[in-house]
Amino acid sequence: MANIQFQGVGRIFRQGGKEFVALEGIDLEVQDREFVAIVGPSGCGKTTCMRMAAGLEHATAGQVRVGGVEVTRPGPDRAVVFQQFALFPWKTVWANIEFGLISLGIDAAERERRIRHYIELMGLGGYEQAFPHQLSGGMQQRVAIARAYVLDPKVLLMDEPFGALDAQTRVVMQEELVRLARQHPRTVLFITHAVEEAVYLADRIVVMSRRPGRIREVIDVKPVREAERWDALPRIEDVMDQPSFVHLRTHIWKLLREQQGDDAH
Amino acid sequence: MIGPALPRREFWRLTAAGAVGALALWTVAALSGITPRQFLPAPWEVVARLAQLMVEPFVGHTLPVHLASSLQRFGSGFLLAVAVGIPLGLAMAWFPVLDRLVTPLFEAVRFVAPIAWVPFAALWFGTGIGGPVLIIFMGAFPPVLINTYRGARFVDTKYLEAAAMLGAGPLRTMTQVLLPAAVPSIVAGLRISAGLGWQSLVGAELIVASSGVGYMMVKGQAAVSTATVMSGMIAIGIVGLLIDIALRRVQQHIEERRGR
C-alpha cells in the first residue's frame, strides 16, 4: 500500500486558442489505507484528478505522487475501476481477471490461487468461463473490481464505478464494497457525484467546486462513523437513517447547492 | 429508398422467378439463331458440357482437377495476403510512423487492378507458381489491410486504457486487444478479399501453362468451344459463392460469440 499526493496540481486545456482552467491548486494527500471520495458537480475535474493518479492524463502544473514516486504513465500498481467497466468483451471472466497478473509476471499457480480467491470474494463462482456480455451490469462491475483487487495494487482508483448500475444493484455493490474496504483496508480514491454513496463509503470526503476545479472543503467521516458505530448496522438504509449520517449528507448537499447558486449569477 | 423486408416465401418466389426468366431469355436467344449456336449454346448444352468436363479430361485434366489447382493457387495468394495484411494493419494502427510511411504508397498501388499485374508477373515469374499467387495477392491484400487497420485504429480507447493500466506492452496490446477488437472488421475484410482474390484468378491463370479453371477457359476459347468457356464461368461462380458462404458462417459464429 501507499499514499497518493497531489501537490499544487493544475490542469489547463487549450481549445481553439482559448485556455480553459479545469483544475487549479489541488493539494491533497490520501493516506496509506485511507478511503477518500471526491464529490462535485460534473465538470469540476474530479475524474481528471483520478486519471492523473492513474497516469492516463498529465498535470500542467504541480505533481501527482503515488508512494512518493511521480506518476508518469499507467501501470498495474495503480489499478483503475472504470465507470463503463472496460472489460475485454473477447475474454472470459477468468481471462479478464488474469490479464494484469500476466503482465506482473506472476507464475501460473499463484495466478490461479489469487483469481480463485477474488472470484469467491466477489460472488463470481460458476461464471469463470462466461463472457462479459452474458453477465448483468452488476456482475460485470464485480469482475472489474476483482480485476483491480487481484493485482494487489499500491492504490485503487475508482471512477464512478456504480454510476452505470441500476438503483438496487448499486446498493448491493455499495454494501459489498464497504465490507471489502473495512475487512481489507486499502488506499482508495473514489470518484462519485452521489453524496450518500460518498458518506457511506469514505473515510474522508473532498468536496470540489468547478470553474476552475478547486477543493472546497474536506470532511472527515471516519470519526463520526466510528463514534456512531455505523459499521455495526447491516444495511445501507439503516446507516442512512442515522441522524449523524443525515447531518453530514445535508452539509455536503448544501455545499454543492451553493455552487449551483453561483452558477445562476 | 429501401422498402420493408420481404417475407421469406416471397423472397424465394422472386429469386426463382428471376432465375427462370434469365434462363428463358438465354434459351430464346440461343434458339432464335441471332448468333451461331457455336457462340451461344443453349443452357442444356452447357450443362451437358459441364457434366462431361466433370469426368472427361480437357487439356490434360478433368474440371475438378482444374478447380483443385485453381483453389490451391487462390489459397496461397489469399493466405499470403492475410499473413502480411493483418500484422501490418495492426502495426500501422499502433505505430503512427509506420502508418505515414505505408499509407501513401498503398493508396497509389491499390488503384493498379490485379489484372494489370499480369504482364509484370509474367516477366518476373514466367509460368511458375509465383505469378498467379502475386496477382491473387494483389487482389486480396488491400481489403485485409484496410479493414484490419480501421478495426484496430478505431478501437474504443477504454480498452487501450484498461490494457495500459493492466501493464500490457506493445506486443500484448496488439495481439490481445487490437487484434480481437478488430476481428469483426477483419472478417468482413476477409470476405471482400476472398471475393476479389477469386475474381483475379482467371487473369492469374492466363499466364499459367498446364492447369486451372482459367487455363481451361483460355484453351476452350482457342478451341472455339463456348460451352467449355461457359462451364468454367459457372464453376468459378459456384465456387466463389461457396467461399463466401463459408466465410459468412465464420463471421456469424464470431458475432454470436461476442453477443451481437
User: B140 with B192, same domain?
Assistant: yes
Give pLDDT tens digits for B79-101.
Answer: 999 999 999 999 999 888 888 88
User: B14 with B137, same domain?
Assistant: no
A129 close to B (CB below 8 A): no
User: B4 with B119, same domain?
Assistant: no
User: B49 with B167, same domain?
Assistant: yes
Domains of chain A: 31-42+55-211+233-264 (3.40.50.300)
Instruction: Give residue A265's pLDDT band: very low, low, confident or very high (50, 70, 90).
Output: very low
Residues linked to residue A192 through DSSP beta bridges, in sequence order: A39
User: Is there a contact between A86 and B158 if contact means CB atoms under 8 Å apart?
Assistant: yes
In this prediction, residue B2 carries a pLDDT of 63
In this prediction, residue B10 carries a pLDDT of 85
ipTM reported for the complex, 2 dp: 0.88
CA A88 to chain B, closest CA, distance in angstroms equals: 7
Q: What is the DSSP letter of B177?
A: I
Look at residue B71 and tell me whether its pLDDT is greater than 90.
yes
User: Is there a contact between A131 and B258 if contact means CB atoms under 8 Å apart?
Assistant: yes
Q: Find out whether B144 and B85 touch, Cβ atoms under 8 Å.
A: yes
User: B127 with B209, same domain?
Assistant: yes
User: B135 with B252, same domain?
Assistant: yes
A99 close to B (CB below 8 A): yes
Look at residue B169 and tell me whether its pLDDT is greater than 50.
yes
Write out the three cell numbers for A47.
Answer: 475524474
Write out the three cell numbers for B56.
Answer: 472427361
User: B7 with B86, same domain?
Assistant: no
Cα–Cα distance, A70 to B230 (Å, whole number): 73
In this prediction, residue B201 carries a pLDDT of 85
Owner of C-alpha cell 496477382: B135
Q: Find out whether B198 and B243 touch, Cβ atoms under 8 Å.
A: yes
User: Is there a contact between B162 and A88 if contact means CB atoms under 8 Å apart?
Assistant: yes
User: Is there a contact between B165 and A78 if contact means CB atoms under 8 Å apart?
Assistant: yes
Give chain B's contact residues with A (Cβ, < 8 Å): 158-159, 161-169, 172, 176-177, 180-181, 183, 257-259
Least confident of A16-20, A37-41, A58-62, B70-74: A16-20
User: B10 with B79, same domain?
Assistant: no
Look at residue B6 and tell me whether its pLDDT is greater than 90.
no
Distances (CA, A) of B186 to A103, A176, B179: 27, 41, 9
Instruction: Give residue B108's pLDDT band: very low, low, confident or very high (50, 70, 90).
Output: confident
Q: Which of B165, B179, B187, B256 to mutate to test the interface with A (most CBs of A within 10 A)?
A: B165
Write out the three cell numbers for B219.
Answer: 484453351
B16-43 mean pLDDT: 88
If one counts the domains in chain B, the total is 2
User: B3 with B59, same domain?
Assistant: no
| Long-range residue pairs from A102-110, CB within 8 A, at least 24 positions apart, any chain | A102/B172, A103/A76, A103/B166, A103/B167, A103/B168, A103/B169, A103/B172, A104/A76, A104/A151, A104/B167
**Strand ranges for chain A from DSSP E:** 4-15, 18-30, 35-39, 61-66, 69-70, 78-81, 155-159, 188-192, 204-209, 214-220
Instruction: Give residue A260's pLDDT band: very low, low, confident or very high (50, 70, 90).
Output: low
Give pLDDT tens digits for B191-233.
Answer: 999 999 998 888 888 776 688 899 999 999 988 889 999 999 9
User: Is there a contact between A103 and B172 if contact means CB atoms under 8 Å apart?
Assistant: yes
Write out the three cell numbers for B124.
Answer: 518476373
Amino acid identity, position B24: A
Q: What CATH number is associated with residue B126? A: 1.10.3720.10
Nearest CB to A90; choose among B161, B165, B258: B258
User: B27 with B141, same domain?
Assistant: no
User: B127 with B140, same domain?
Assistant: yes
Return mean pLDDT, chain A.
Answer: 88
CB interface of A with B, residues 157-216, below 8 Å: none
Domain that holds residue B86: 37-258
User: Is there a contact between A56 and B259 if contact means CB atoms under 8 Å apart?
Assistant: no
User: How would you label B116-132 residue by residue, b for 16+ Cβ within 10 Å and e otherwise?
Assistant: ebbeebeeebeeeeebb
Chain A's closest residue to B255, CA to CA, is A90
Please report the number of interchain residue pairs, chain A to chain B, with beta-carbon separation below 8 angstroms.
64
Nearest CB to B167; choose among A86, A88, A103: A103
User: B85 with B3, same domain?
Assistant: no
CA B163 to chain A, closest CA, distance in angstroms equals: 8
Q: What is the pTM of this model?
A: 0.81
Give pLDDT tens digits for A159-185.
Answer: 988 887 888 888 888 888 888 888 888
